[in-house]
Structure 1
Amino acid sequence: MSQPDAKRSQSKQGLGPRKAALYLLDQVTGQGKLLPELIGDGALAHLPPEDRARAQRLATQTLRGLARADRMLARFVNRTPPLAVRNVLRLCTVELCGGEAAHGVVNAGVELVARNKRTASMKGLVNAVLRKVAAEGPEGWAKLATPRLPGWLRDPLKDGYGPQVVAAMEAAHFAGAPLDITAKADPEAVAKALGGVVLATGTVRLAEAGQVSSLPGFEAGDWWVQDAAAAIPVQILAPQKGEAVLDLCAAPGGKTMQLAAAGARVTAVDASGGRMKRVRENLDRTGLAATTFVADAFAVTDGGFDAILLDAPCSATGTIRRHPDLPYAKDGSEFGMLIDQQARMIDHALGLLKPGGRLVFCTCSLLPDEGEVQVEEAVSRHAGLTVDAAALERPGLDPNWRTDEGGLRLRPDYWADQGGMDGFYIALMRKPA
């Protein structure tokens, strides 16, 4: 069989996307890699667009249901197999319990193991186990407990929010995330074109999206993908036409485009050349303008900005509903370094503001040390610095989400009946005039 014919055969059997999904699973669970990094480095580049989307979806769904899959498999496996085999079983178990046809999934699982010389001897085991899962698994899947966060994250969240709130967050993580979109101009028109709904904050939400780049308005630049929570910091900053606004740590560029669409004169800075390339591509696609620089945030020394948006590097623990790889690829060891870096970034950003200027500090983190505590300590360090709680008076923002120091705490269990949102912390601080 020629190479093109072999690729077509794999795609027809679903082996291509399953094999790619298995590679992603092995890298996350075995090497501590993150899915965005793997995909950004070209892990799925060899697949056609529809198979890329399927591979990513399979890997994400498996990671989201990994704990349930392991509980299910424990009924049928006496001894834990090697990771490569275990991940095949996990992948296929999630598919089977999600309603995929048993014949195709079982055959694909056996084939994936058989093609690997190191695991080929276990194809009989895989066949037997998956047949048992196919017979008994779908009925028992929903009865299994909701997957819990690992202790390194669950424990500090319980301290900050209590066990009931953490359980609600875990339910939101397991439910996954719909596709959220920010419209360049008219959310109602975009929602109508895409069959979505407009949320209270103006984000367009799609229950089923498919391949993003094939949706109406993508090529025309009418919108960009951005979680509803991630769109709120710019709304709170409220950029005005003609204002000089600095977007620090700008990639992947959703907030940069919001700022530009509002008419601000935007300077976008990010330390990653690859990620900044995506920002430029998105600006080109949407026809929006911003000055972009690849640089460390601390290398920016020219000040006088009217406003600054600092979406600081953080633990990203608020994004697990969309990135279920995070609990398996991290262990919390970087928390201390990130918290220190955030404090230094706030201090640096304040030095770049003109007198009376405003700074929005935000993180996609659920940890109070990366949000509420940072702002409390910044106010204590800088004489005259104030938190503007009135800036939170925006459409769709529940007053109950406000925090004691004047910021906004968003959680994945908010809007649970509408599909949730990312965990975020946002506060607007004003420099003394």
Structure 2
Amino acid sequence: MSHPSPRAAAAHLLDQVLGEHRLLSDLLAAGALGQLAPPDRARAQRLVTQTLRALERSDKILAKHLRKPPPLTVQNILRLGTVELCMGGDAHGIVNECVALTGASKRFAKLKGLVNAVLRKVAAAGPAEWAILRVPHLPKWLRAPLSEAYGPKTVAGFEAAHFAGAPLDLTPRGDAAALAEAVGGTVLPTGSVRLAEAGQVSALPGFETGDWWVQDAAAALPARLLAAQPGETVLDMCAAPGGKTLQLASAGAEVTALDISDARMARLRENLARTGLGAALVIGDALTHEGRYDAILLDAPCSATGTIRRHPDLPHARDGSEIGDLIGLQAAMLDRALGLLKPGGRLVYCTCSLLPDEGECQIEEALARHSGLRVDAEATALPGVDPDWRTEEGGFRLRPDFWAERGGMDGFYMALLRM
């Protein structure tokens, strides 16, 4: 049985994201690229993310050569080809395979002549046009509230970071400098190791021996803020996919990793086995969970708008309609988490969102609801943390445009609470 090419797989994934509004992470978890060898999987995923980041540019260039948009599948083949051509790809190979992909479909074979003609025109004029087009904008449903919160100039910085994409960050179990030397990366101020070009992750030194795990530098800070101690009972309240659980377990804490999705916990099980770390895994609803803990890390379900530089499918797969419900769920989870703390316990609340309603506002409202609750602002004095990241209520606000010269970071909000 023949396997699809990386380009064919990428075109199919674009159909799913842009036509059915499915998240790329869900598609990949369901095995969408399972028929491909690891290097081809990496290439297919790279083609998809590059095309999604540059969708505005590719559509602008294609509009000059199309009287009307073709069917979505053909349009996505054209988008893939346009992005590759404008980013310096080999014109002959790209055009030929895009024509072949179109011709392989009974429904769209009659449009292969159109694909050939359009992409040859793009190959000739597209790269010069590409170079002068603006950085792609976020969709209006997200750009408007972000501009209100941060101002248009800052949002333009977000968009530049999103378009540039994200390097690969690793959280080391041991010495960061030694890991950086082994994998050819650099040590970031907060202790993560960053690789500009990672290639196949599972082929990197130390993968098989569990010396590290993939985790954006911003996502590694909530566990460092919680500062779990050996022997403490710690609940990772929404644990999957598990990077923070691994950090807490590596610190020597007795960790309970709780998540409602058994499927999402599969990756955490794999990483625990690979690293040799231990945690009690519980599949269940955080709102009904019982127990008493010295410390809790609540990475609450959110809009994930802080992760667009790594997940460019998100603005196309979502429209913001779910945010109101998420804000209510975050408040309920925060209240429940506070009730699970032992006397004198501490809790880190965090979200990978750029929207203040899912971050700063949640903490301000929680302080109003709970007498005696306070933010431990002194805990934010962590190595490598810029004082400008601290917020009025005593938490951290991380943004994609921070560390721009180093490749940026995910957007995150976090605060350490004590009763």
Task: Using structure 1 for the length normalisation, give the TM-score.
Answer: 0.96
**Residue 209 (1) aligns with residue 217 (2):** no
What residue in structure 2 maps to residue 66 of structure 1? 55
Specify the SS of the correspondent of 1:159: helix
- Which of the residues 331, 339, 343 maps onto 1:343? 331
Q: For 1:363 and 1:302, how far apart are their aligned partners in 2?
A: 23
Q: For 2:267 and 2:91, how far apart are their aligned partners in 1?
A: 39
What residue in structure 2 maps to residue 30 of structure 1? 19
What residue in structure 2 maps to residue 295 of structure 1? 284
Amino acid at match of 1:384: G
Specify the SS of the correspondent of 1:91: helix
What residue in structure 2 maps to residue 352 of structure 1? 340
**Residue 361 (1) aligns with residue 342 (2):** no
In the TM superposition, 1:191-206 aligns within 5 A as 191-206=180-195
**CA shift at 1:31, angstroms?**
0.2
Specify the SS of the correspondent of 1:177: coil
In the TM superposition, 1:26-175 aligns within 5 A as 26-175=15-164
What residue in structure 1 maps to residue 310 of structure 2? 322
Q: For 1:28 and 1:80, how far apart are their aligned partners in 2?
A: 18
Amino acid at match of 1:379: L
- Which of the residues 296, 308, 317 maps onto 2:296? 308
What residue in structure 1 maps to residue 174 of structure 2? 185
Q: For 1:171 and 1:19, how far apart are their aligned partners in 2?
A: 28
**CA shift at 1:185, angstroms?**
1.2
What residue in structure 2 maps to residue 12 of structure 1? none
Question: Residue deviations 1:133-180, cap 9 Å, x none?
Answer: 111111221211110000100000011001000011000000000000
Amino acid at match of 2:73: A
Percent pairwise identity: 66
Question: Residue deviations 1:293-318, cap 9 Å, x none?
Answer: 11111231112x11000000000000
**CA shift at 1:32, angstroms?**
0.4
Amino acid at match of 1:311: D
Q: For 1:133 and 1:215, how far apart are their aligned partners in 2?
A: 37
**CA shift at 1:76, angstroms?**
1.4
What residue in structure 2 maps to residue 422 of structure 1? 410
Amino acid at match of 1:237: L
Q: For 1:188 and 1:401, how far apart are their aligned partners in 2?
A: 25
- Which of the residues 18, 28, 47 maps onto 2:7? 18
**Residue 284 (1) aligns with residue 273 (2):** yes
Q: For 2:389 and 2:31, how far apart are their aligned partners in 1?
A: 39
> What's the Cα RMSD here?
0.8
- Which of the residues 224, 235, 245 maps onto 1:246? 235
Q: For 1:131 and 1:312, how far apart are their aligned partners in 2?
A: 48
Specify the SS of the correspondent of 1:209: coil
Question: Residue deviations 1:279-337, cap 9 Å, x none?
Answer: 1110110011111111111231112x110000000000000000000000000000110
Q: For 1:289 and 1:83, how far apart are their aligned partners in 2?
A: 46
Specify the SS of the correspondent of 2:219: helix
**CA shift at 1:419, angstroms?**
0.2
- What 5-or-longer segments of structure 1 have no aligned partner? 8-14
Q: For 1:419 and 1:210, how far apart are their aligned partners in 2?
A: 17
What residue in structure 2 maps to residue 237 of structure 1? 226
Specify the SS of the correspondent of 2:287: helix
Question: Residue deviations 1:354-383, cap 9 Å, x none?
Answer: 111100000000000000000000010000
**Residue 406 (1) aligns with residue 391 (2):** no
- What 5-or-longer segments of structure 2 have no aligned partner? none
**CA shift at 1:110, angstroms?**
0.2
Amino acid at match of 1:45: G
Specify the SS of the correspondent of 1:142: helix
Q: For 2:291 and 2:352, how far apart are their aligned partners in 1?
A: 27
What residue in structure 2 maps to residue 376 of structure 1? 364
Worse overlay, 405-414 or 135-144: 135-144
Specify the SS of the correspondent of 1:297: coil
Q: For 1:76 and 1:277, how far apart are their aligned partners in 2?
A: 46
Q: For 1:280 and 1:158, how far apart are their aligned partners in 2?
A: 40
**CA shift at 1:186, angstroms?**
1.2
Specify the SS of the correspondent of 2:415: strand
**CA shift at 1:244, angstroms?**
0.7
**CA shift at 1:47, angstroms?**
1.0
Q: For 1:309 and 1:207, how far apart are their aligned partners in 2?
A: 29
What residue in structure 2 maps to residue 11 of structure 1? none
Q: For 1:218 and 1:207, how far apart are their aligned partners in 2?
A: 17
Q: For 2:28 and 2:70, how far apart are their aligned partners in 1?
A: 27
Q: For 2:352 and 2:177, how far apart are their aligned partners in 1?
A: 27
Question: Residue deviations 1:389-432, cap 9 Å, x none?
Answer: 1010001111111111111000000000000000000000001x
